[in-house]
Amino acid sequence: MKEGKASWTAQGVTFYRALESARPEGEAAFSDPLAAELLDSWFAWVARRRHRRRIAGLVIGNSALSISYRSVVDRTVLIDDCVSLTRAAGIEQLVLLGAGFDTRAYRLIGPDGPVKVFEVDHPDTQRIKLARLKKAIGPLPDNVVYVPVDFEQEKTETRLLESGYDGGAATLFIWEGVMSYLTPEAVDETLALIAGNYGSGSTVVFTYLLLEASGDREARTRRRHETFLRMRGEPHIFWIDADQIEEFLSRRGLELVESRNLPLPARATGRRRFQERPAHGAIAFARVR
């Protein structure tokens, strides 16, 4: 990440969520009205005007970007469902690891229920999110705790415990779009924090990048994407082989429930040649044993 600046990729996925939320009722996969308010610069300029959104939608829908757009939409729906289900089942804590501009604390949990939310993120991203959030919603809810942490430099568990996290409370951990930016050491440390939770029914949902892109064209698209991310200061540095995910988690004390490639086949849109492209990423649901 570029020092002193909010994560660019966090802005990018929030931009996708703002575009999806602005689609006509009945067509949008979800509604995240805060997303557009948390954007700035070019992203805000486009997201806040209908004709610019339409042009952006056309460009995305007819290019290789449609894969990442659909992946973000699908993972948002799946994780939202996971929050609703685990909330109904009685979770006590929601921990967002690398929260970015995630708005689930405000649109799905709300201030009055029993669930305590911990938004953990890099200090540079979190500072900017908090400034924009206060502008958008006013005073921040009491049930949300903001924990600034650099996963590469600090022990997340220590910072969470200092902030009131209870390792014995039933918890849903969300680690969305973060793992691929971390070193293996930071990935293992974060998984150890999750596996160390001993609350009954604790679970984790996370997204990961698949090790191999199949075919020459896929490899070329992927290389271009990787070069672009490197230029933005947020290179991908961590992948998992889909065939190994169960064992990968098991060795770290977690039990895989399900892993699904993204975007989900039924939701792929855009021109036919893009619909047929294979997935680059996946989403996994796992139980803390």
Nearer to ligand SAM, 62 or 158 (CB): 158
From 21, 5, 4, 24, select the one nearest 13 (Cα to Cα): 21
Task: State the minimum distance, in angstroms, from the CB of residue 118 to ligand SAM.
Answer: 13
Would you count residue 1 as binding ligand SAM (CB under 6 A)? yes
Confirm if 249 and 286 have CB atoms less than 8 A apart.
yes
102 near ligand SAM, judged by CB under 6 A = yes
Find the shortest distance in angstroms from Cβ 177 to ligand SAM: 4
Interacting residue with ligand SAM among 80, 92, 150, 166 (CB under 6 A) = 150
Binding segment (CB under 6 A) for ligand SAM, from list 54-62, 99-107, 109-117, 208-216:
99-107
Q: Nearer Cβ to ligand SAM, position 73 or 168?
A: 73
Closest CA to 278 of 198, 219, 238: 219
Please state the closest distance from residue 14 (CB atom) to ligand SAM, in A.
Answer: 6
Using an 8 Å Cβ cutoff, are 152 and 182 in contact?
A: yes
Say how far apart CA 289 and CA 282 lie, in whole Å: 22
Least separation in angstroms between residue 198's CB and ligand SAM is 24
Q: Which of residues 166-225 bind ligand SAM (CB under 6 A)?
A: 176-178, 181
Near ligand SAM by CB under 6 A: residue from 81, 152, 185, 241:
152
98 binds ligand SAM (CB under 6 A): yes
Longest CA span, the chain: 52
Question: 13 or 195, CB closer to ligand SAM?
Answer: 13
Q: What is the dihedral of CA 188, 189, 192, 197, to 10 degrees?
A: -140
User: Distance (Å, rounded) from C-alpha 174 to C-alpha 96?
Assistant: 5
If one counts every other C-beta atom within 10 angstroms of the C-beta of residue 144, the result is 19
Q: Please give the structure tokens belonging to residue 104.
A: 């689930």
Binding piece for ligand SAM, criterion CB under 6 A, among 86-94, 146-154, 189-197, 244-252: 146-154
State yes or no: residue 258 binds ligand SAM (CB under 6 A).
no
Q: How far is the CB of 117 from ligand SAM (least distance, A)?
A: 13
> Which structure tokens are listed for 54?
């339409």
Phi, psi angles (nearest 5°) of residue 265: -55, -45
The CA-based dihedral angle spanning residues 132, 135, 136, 138, taken in that order and rounded to the nearest 10 degrees: 120
- What residue ranges bind ligand SAM (CB under 6 A)? 1, 7, 9-10, 13, 98-102, 121-122, 125, 149-152, 176-178, 181
